[in-house]
Chain A
Amino acid sequence: SAVISQKPSRDICQRGTSLTIQCQVDSQVTMMFWYRQQPGQSLTLIATANQGSEATYESGFVIDKFPISRPNLTFSTLTVSNMSPEDSSIYLCSVKGTGRGYNEQFFGPGTRLTVL
């Protein structure tokens, strides 16, 4: 499986500020995704990060609030903009298509965000 790292692992931010989360994979992957998991809830897909083009957002998520970059096949960033306490969640980077098991999807260690 791919080794996925995320930075930061956790952060406490003030309302109205923005935070950029980085996701780095140790090998080229076909697909990269960003999920959110609010307290006590299951995983919710925010968007698919597309290499070299705009991300594909799920219903309820917009680019202005969650801009995403994916400059190459091993790296992506998610920015949480103009944060409010409702954005307090765990944010997870996930990858698929690592070569050995195309359908297997793996997760990074997550970023725990608290907005005051």
Chain B
Amino acid sequence: EDKVVQSPLSLVVHEGDTVTLNCSYEVTNFRSLLWYKQEKKAPTFLFMLTSSGIEKKSGRLSSILDKKELFSILNITATQTGDSAVYLCAVDNQAGTALIFGKGTTLSVSS
């Protein structure tokens, strides 16, 4: 059965800290891995990763994929209170189907 596992499930840090969120997966016919940020209702898209070793960056956020070891990490540097959210990892295993989501990591950043 295809599955996506995220760790840790929750994390509390202080402003300015750097955090690393983990996502491992077991899927057939892997196509891509996606990261989302969910603050209130709707998840907002962060990154899509398809190739190993190529880092995607957006401001203080970055992510990388390892297709050999079947995992991805999401890094957030110099965290701010506005980074507090649930971070969701999802995997696309073939065209024409919905993403497979992990349970998410709840990040709380205190000032």
Contact = CB atoms under 8 A, between A and B. Distances in A.
B98 A110 contact: no
A110 to B, nearest CB: 3
Nearest to A106: B45
Interface of B: 31-32, 34, 36, 40-45, 48, 50, 88, 90, 92, 95-99, 101-104
Interface of A: 1, 31, 33, 35, 41-43, 45, 48, 90, 92, 94, 96, 101-110, 112
Given A33-B98, A42-B101, A42-B103, A104 B42 contact: no
Contacts of A101: 48
Given A1-B45, A105-B99, 13 more contacts: A31-B96, A31-B98, A42-B88, A42-B102, A43-B43, A43-B101, A48-B97, A48-B98, A92-B42, A103-B34, A103-B48, A107-B36, A110-B40
A43 B90 CA distance: 10
Contact of B92 (A35, A45, A103): A103
Q: Which secondary structure characterizes the binding site on chain B?
A: loop
A29 B48 CA distance: 18
A102 B40 CA distance: 26
Q: Which secondary structure characterizes the binding site on chain A?
A: strand
A35 B100 CA distance: 11
Contacts of A31: 96, 98
A102 B95 contact: yes
Contact of A94 (B44, B48, B92, B98): B98
A105 B90 contact: yes
22 contacts: A31-B96, A31-B98, A35-B98, A41-B103, A42-B88, A42-B104, A43-B43, A45-B98, A48-B97, A92-B42, A94-B98, A101-B48, A102-B95, A103-B31, A103-B32, A103-B95, A105-B34, A105-B45, A107-B36, A107-B42, A109-B42, A110-B42
